[in-house]
Amino acid sequence: MTARIIDGKAIAEALRTQTATEVAAVQAHTGITPHLVAILTGDDPASAVYVRNKQKACEKAGLKSTLHRLPATTTQAELLALVAQCNADPTVHGILVQLPLPPQIDPQVVLDAVHPRKDVDCFHPENVGLLTQGRPRFLPCTPAGVMHLLESTGVKTAGAHAVVLGRSEIVGKPMALLLVQKGADATVTVCHSRTRDLPSITRQADILIAAIGKANFVTADMVKPGAVVIDVGISRLNDKLVGDVDYNAVAPIASAITPVPGGVGPMTIALLLRNTLTAASAVK
């Protein structure tokens, strides 16, 4: 068996093209240009790359993009003041606070300060609550990107056993929430560092989603033949970008697999643009 490679780049490009068309329609109908503000605090090089890629994607899709760069010495009060300023600006529709933040800043306090109607990352407790109830205002970008990949490639989630590796607020928990909602209808198991006999559980998965941030953690003996494997992780190993899945070992066993890079990553940005468009479209 040779796994079908799920091309996240191509699927994300199609979604961004659709978004660009809808952005143009909103501009023509309302005169509003969806506007995403990104706040980058500190000197983390990976964060700088992510923000730059998001800016490029915004501009390509016709959205306005603004970047605020703050030094690593920024205080929590200073960052909260900037968030409040963006909350009060009616021309700003989405606010993205890039993580990680410097150690003197509590990320939960800052993320909670973003207005829930501008919380295009879907981190605010109000938006997480709406998601839990199955009536989301915004979809969490990376998990929603995974769902779009599955749908676009014809992977059926209804009745499937989906195993999610990881329980983070950014990927693991919201991923499980999306999979278990009516319409997706998967049976979901969430695994983490305290899970006993992990391989015995991952081998039950029809859909295995790895989001733990450990390079090449998922090995061939952890995957059921014919499973769909979605690799959310990305790490640098010997100057090479790799995922949570040992790709070369797992690909011959899986029926479909996402590469790293070029799998889930582009989808995250594509869904961020969708959320910003949704926020702008909701302006009265």
- Catalytic site positions: 54, 98, 121
The DSSP 8-state label assigned to residue 245 in this structure reads: B
Q: How far, in Å, CA of 140 to CA of 111, rounded?
A: 14
Q: How far, in Å, CA of 17 to CA of 230, rounded?
A: 23
CB 244 within 8 A of CB 276: no
CB 13 within 8 A of CB 51: no
Q: How far, in Å, CA of 202 to CA of 224, rounded?
A: 8
CB 8 within 8 A of CB 157: no
Q: How far, in Å, CA of 243 to CA of 247, rounded?
A: 8
Q: How far, in Å, CA of 193 to CA of 254, rounded?
A: 24
